[in-house]
Amino acid sequence: MSIIVGNLLIESNNNPILKEEKNGDMFIGGIFAGADKLNNNKRVYPEDILDKAMEEYLKEKVHNSMGLMELNHPDSPKINLDRVAAKIIDLKKDGKEWIGKAKILRELPCGNIAYGLLKNDVRFGASTRGLGSADKATWQNEDCNLVNNFFVRAIDLVSEPSYSDAIIHTVTECKQFILDNSTGEVVEFNEETYRIFESRIQTLPKKQEDKQKLIFESLQNFLNSLRANR
């Protein structure tokens, strides 16, 4: 079991995606993410951190037909199938940027909405959504939040105004989420979550007592650290 803990990080890209129609289908493409650049959130994604996250997303999601794009961001890392508008079919690195291509899923309600808006020349952008954390730092003589850990959950299709300075970038840093990477289950960390985790630890089998004690203490320390960082 792989547990990932972090804040919900959302980063919109200033570059509009382009549309293409072929044999009755609509495709969109453009820059989905970029590294080593101070964004409007005063956040910087180092190239190695972003590459690792995008490569994992490409391998685990895109290559398995699970790279789903929702229409606008939800307020959690959870994937909502009723909000899906497109499916990513290609994702590759070009310099410090990641270029993606997706197919609009017109059979779905949100896909049909996206198709209608795109047909009428409404601009969209691509925006990453994932779990991560950052440290206060300086980047090219400017104060920033330097991302030290990032796990991509989705790349969504978001509305974009005609000039980049008006783009609204969001980050839910007041909430923490716990992701079981082996099952995809996501829960918001709160007192109730802590209580449930603690009760599950206490009901573990009593075999191999030394090993059991070590596991118990490790998980207990992990949960206590979460409470301390809230």
Q: Which two tokens stand for residue 173?
A: 């840093």
Q: Work out the average pLDDT over 201-219.
A: 59
Which residues are bridge partners to 178 per DSSP?
A: 5, 187
Q: Work out the average pLDDT over 8-26.
A: 83
Q: For 85-117, b where at least 16 C-beta lie within 10 A, e where not — what string?
A: bbbbeebebeeebbbbbbbbbbebebbeebbeb
**pLDDT tens digits along 164-195:** 433 333 333 445 555 555 555 555 555 565 56
Residue for token digits 């490569």?
55
Position 161 scores a pLDDT of 40
Q: Is the pLDDT of residue 8 over 90?
A: no
Query: What is the reported pTM?
Result: 0.71
The helix (H) or strand (E) run that includes residue 133 is: strand 124-139
Which has the higher per-residue pLDDT, 58 or 206?
58
Position 107 scores a pLDDT of 96
39 vs 28: CA distance, rounded Å: 23
Position 185 scores a pLDDT of 59
**pLDDT tens digits along 57-103:** 999 999 999 999 999 888 888 889 999 999 999 999 999 999 999 99
